[in-house]
Chain A
Amino acid sequence: MTDPVRPVLQARGITKFFPGAIALADVDLALHPGEVHALLGENGAGKSTLIKCLTGAYPRDGGTLELDGAEVAPGSTQESQALGIGTVYQEVNLLPNLTVAENLFLGRQPRRFGLISRRRMAAAATELLQGYGLDIDVREPLSHYSVAVQQVIAIARAVEMSGRVLILDEPTASLDRDEVELVFSVVRKLKARGLAIVFITHFLDQVFAICDRATVLRNGHVVGTRDLSETGPRDIVHLMLGRQLESEVRERHGGQGGEVLAEIDGLGRRGMIEPFSMQIREGEVIGLAGLLGAGRTETASLLFGAVHADQGRIRLRGRDLKLKGPRDAVAARFALCPEDRKTDGIIGDLSVRENIILALQARQGWARPVPRARAEEIARGYVRALDIRAASLDMPIRLLSGGNQQKALLARWLATEPELLILDEPTRGIDVGAHAEIIQLIESLRERGMSLVVASSEMEELVAYSTRVIVLRDRVQVAELAGDRITAENIVRAITDEDREVA
């Protein structure tokens, strides 16, 4: 894009190393006044690392940052704020217990005779928010208002404190359609005021609705910057996922699968995922595709009872199954490897062996401990079968690498001999070797007659092992692909809404 105006913020060659990995490699980013610039990429592509480098939350390992042509090097978010770079995050970073006015003016309250003048503060806050089209009682606590209103207040605070560049890190991730519109109206106002705005989101329609340009990151590299008036969603998805989307001819095995294991009928939870139905057969891998935030994880959590469904039902082999929590799911021989290994998966300080037998032990109950020898045998077996690299079975699992942790979690669930194995992003953040092994494992489990539901953002992967693929968009099932129709091309088409299929 050739813009005669000098960029407000110009980042050149930003590089960031993490132990053993390059998080950002030579990233350039130019922000012009009055533009909304989308920053896109799947999880782990480097978006948040880039933001943290721009705002000084992380020290850079290379590259320069220019604000209005002058080189700057903010050392903290406070410093970058003072320079004019404000940030708003997905989780509202304001204090729910303080009033709206107190949140807006924390640290810079108007004072009279040395004391805070609450009246002046309230008046100033009311006036300020009216400028953003919000007419609310600023003396109510922040928690009194919806997330969208809180987001607008956070934006207002960020703009007031900085005022040159505004970085919006997934501000709409937990908003519904009307609420998104409220935030957008504010973004448009700010754009008209000449701010340079970075907008991060996983919702492509939002990108096209509000952004002027988009920069796509993948694996820490910029793979392209596009003017959105000249580009379509498919091009962007191609950039993001970066695969050759020519449908690879794959030998498909398995086919239809065996008997019906479970029937899901209208399962859903308000505000989280729209009701969905599906049939899960034995010896079948159902892939859940969709962009981040489309409802993959939510579907998996609901199936496992990790989150309580408020509607619909599950029938297991023709019998009604009530899931009040994961315990019921485990009892019904369901298993779930969650997306966030660290917080929801591993028990960091327990040993590898204890982590592997944990689910089995929980199902057996406390009174029937898995004997030490048996635990050793199970753990050894899986360590060998899944090639888990651990110096010792006694070492805390948190010391293992991501791939080995993931395999240990798989072992935990395989030890319970599940009938339905739900995997949420089984290959995220693990090295290439482990990646291939896990895919192979999925295939062999299917061949043994296990039913699997796999949610993944790796399309190539889904195409490789799924017997059916369910595509989600905006928390709704939009398509189901089977057999030869499972191609990356078709998945992308469903994601980008070019060709709506019958769900």
Chain B
Amino acid sequence: MIRSTSLPLIVTLATFVIAYALCASAYPAMLSSRVVANLLTDNAFLGIAAVGMTFVILSGGIDLSVGSVIAFSGVFLAVILRDTGIHPLAAFALVLAITTAFGAAMGGIIHYLEMPPFIVTLAGMFLARGAAYVLSVDSVPITHEFYDWLQDIYWKAPSGGRFRLTGALMVLTFLAGIVLAHRTRFGQNVYAMGGGVQTARLMGVPLGRTTIGIYAISGGLSGLAGIVFSLYTSAGYSLAAVGVELDAIAAVVIGGTLLTGGTGFVAGTFFGILIMGLIQTYIVFDGTLSSWWTKIVIGALLFTFILLQKGLTWATTLRRRPAPGSPMPS
């Protein structure tokens, strides 16, 4: 049964299926497991960050610090593995602890100082990027046998595609995100906040705890994305992952989540990521199309989805009675 809330998700799914069908009809090779595997591997870090972004946007907020935190995590790992003898696993734990605490701190400022998330995470963006610069301005290569070992883990599909660890990690993150969003009280509280902060408070939602939790998750997942990114590039570079937050936001919106919060699905974001990856893959396959078409197509998709959501919101508010004084859509 189709419910009105799942309509954007269905549109996303349909977009993905149609886009994939079109791509495959043009280049049958795009159906190969190699393309699918690369789609997962290439977008793993973005996907993981987008899960965190989904929670933030569902709650009605925004997190601009994602890309900077990814870069910081990469540089931090590279520097700490270069300068100390600690095991990468310990370094991973350290990175996750730092980024989660960083996110939680932003959440705390947003809640307790009642400041707009946009500005707080903007400051966080500068801070994280700046911290990355301070650690190292140059790209620091990561050479550690544990890294090589991790990078060599893959499952080779019969037709040749290599499904790597990072892709699996992204899928796992999405699954965990889905459970967290739909099957825990925390997840329900996130949706509740997105539906209306004042009402949520009246209904007993612990706003402070939830806000801090949301941004802690986004920070922690950005850290995880940074780890994955460092596995992907085998280096830490403070200028890396610039603008990833925009891609993540775009993936969330194309995934059918309302930018104003309250409705959407973590699973939708997954397909949002795949659609964006697909566009890039298509452009690579085509060879004559230039890379900038990616941005334009994503922008157009973004616009379409925003319009679609606006239409849905209008359809629901039209049923309510107008209040005098408030502007009417006429």
Contacts and interface: CB of A to CB of B under 8 A. Distances in A.
- Decide if A and B touch, CB cutoff 8 A: yes
Interface of A: 77-78, 81, 93-98, 102, 106-107, 109, 114-116, 118, 139-141, 143-144, 146-147, 174, 269, 271-272, 297-298, 300-301, 306-308, 324-325, 338-340, 343-344
B188 interface: yes
A324 B5 CA distance: 33
Contact of A271 (B183, B205, B263, B321): B321
Contacts of A340: 325
Contacts of B130: none
Given A141-B4, A325-B330, A107 B185 contact: yes
Given A81-B204, A94-B199, 16 more contacts: A93-B202, A95-B192, A95-B196, A97-B194, A97-B195, A98-B188, A98-B195, A102-B191, A106-B204, A107-B203, A109-B188, A116-B188, A118-B183, A307-B324, A338-B325, A344-B324
B318 to A, nearest CB: 11
B185 A109 contact: yes
Nearest to B58: A97
A115 B196 contact: no
B324 A306 contact: yes
Max chain A CB contacts within 10 Å: which of B182, B204, B316, B320? Answer: B204
B203 A94 contact: yes
A116 B183 contact: yes
Contact of A115 (B183, B320, B322): B183
A178 to B, nearest CB: 16
A214 B262 CA distance: 40
Interface of B: 3-5, 179, 182-185, 188-189, 191-192, 194-196, 199-200, 202-205, 262-263, 316, 319-322, 324-325, 328, 330
B4 A106 contact: no
23 contacts: A78-B204, A81-B204, A93-B199, A93-B202, A93-B203, A95-B196, A95-B199, A97-B5, A102-B188, A109-B185, A114-B184, A115-B184, A116-B183, A141-B4, A144-B3, A272-B321, A297-B324, A298-B324, A300-B324, A307-B324, A308-B328, A324-B330, A344-B324
Nearest to A89: B202
Contacts of A106: 188-189, 192, 203-205
A339 B324 CA distance: 10
A350 B218 CA distance: 40
A96 B192 contact: no
B3 A141 contact: yes
Nearest to A345: B325
Contact of A144 (B4, B200, B328): B4
A360 to B, nearest CB: 20
Given A95-B196, A141-B3, A325-B330, A343 B188 contact: no
B300 to A, nearest CB: 27
Contacts of B5: 97, 141
A338 B196 CA distance: 27
A344 B184 CA distance: 41
A271 B328 CA distance: 15
Contact of B325 (A95, A107, A141, A301): A301
Contacts of B325: 301, 306, 338, 340, 343-344
Nearest to B328: A308
Given A109-B185, A297-B324, A298-B324, A139 B3 contact: yes
A271 B319 CA distance: 10
A95 B203 contact: yes
B192 A98 contact: yes
A55 B243 CA distance: 48
A115 B179 contact: yes
A272 to B, nearest CB: 6
B195 A96 contact: yes
Contact of A97 (B182, B185, B263, B322): B263
Q: Is the interface of A mostly helix, strand, loop or mixed?
A: loop
A93 B197 CA distance: 11
A79 B189 CA distance: 19
Contact of A307 (B3, B192, B320, B328): B328
Contacts of A339: 324
Nearest to A87: B202
A327 to B, nearest CB: 12
A325 B322 CA distance: 14
A269 B328 CA distance: 13
B330 A174 contact: no
Contact of A95 (B3, B185, B195, B319): B195
Contacts of A338: 324-325
A273 to B, nearest CB: 10
Contacts of B200: 95
A306 B192 CA distance: 32
Contacts of B192: 95, 98, 106
Contact of A147 (B188, B196, B202, B320): B320
A245 to B, nearest CB: 30
Max chain B CB contacts within 10 Å: which of A107, A271, A324? Answer: A107
A139 to B, nearest CB: 7
B199 A116 contact: no
Max chain B CB contacts within 10 Å: which of A78, A115, A147? Answer: A115
A118 B185 CA distance: 11
Contacts of A102: 188, 191
Contacts of A300: 324
Contact of B316 (A107, A143, A344): A143
A174 B324 CA distance: 13
Contacts of B203: 93-95, 106-107
B316 A140 contact: no
A107 B330 contact: no
Nearest to B5: A141
A96 B322 contact: no
Contacts of B188: 98, 102, 106, 109, 116
Contacts of A97: 5, 191, 194-195, 262-263
Max chain B CB contacts within 10 Å: which of A114, A307, A338? Answer: A307
Contacts of A139: 3
Nearest to B196: A95
Nearest to A117: B183
A245 B188 CA distance: 55
A139 B3 CA distance: 9
A106 B205 CA distance: 8
Max chain A CB contacts within 10 Å: which of B184, B189, B192, B194? Answer: B192
A286 B184 CA distance: 59
Nearest to A304: B324
Contacts of A114: 184
Nearest to B330: A308
A276 B179 CA distance: 55
A135 B243 CA distance: 49
Contacts of B185: 107, 109, 116
A307 B327 CA distance: 8
B230 to A, nearest CB: 33
Contacts of B3: 139-141, 144
A300 B324 CA distance: 9
A83 B205 CA distance: 18
A57 B188 CA distance: 25
Contacts of B324: 297-298, 300-301, 306-307, 338-339, 344
Given A272-B321, A308-B328, A116 B184 contact: yes
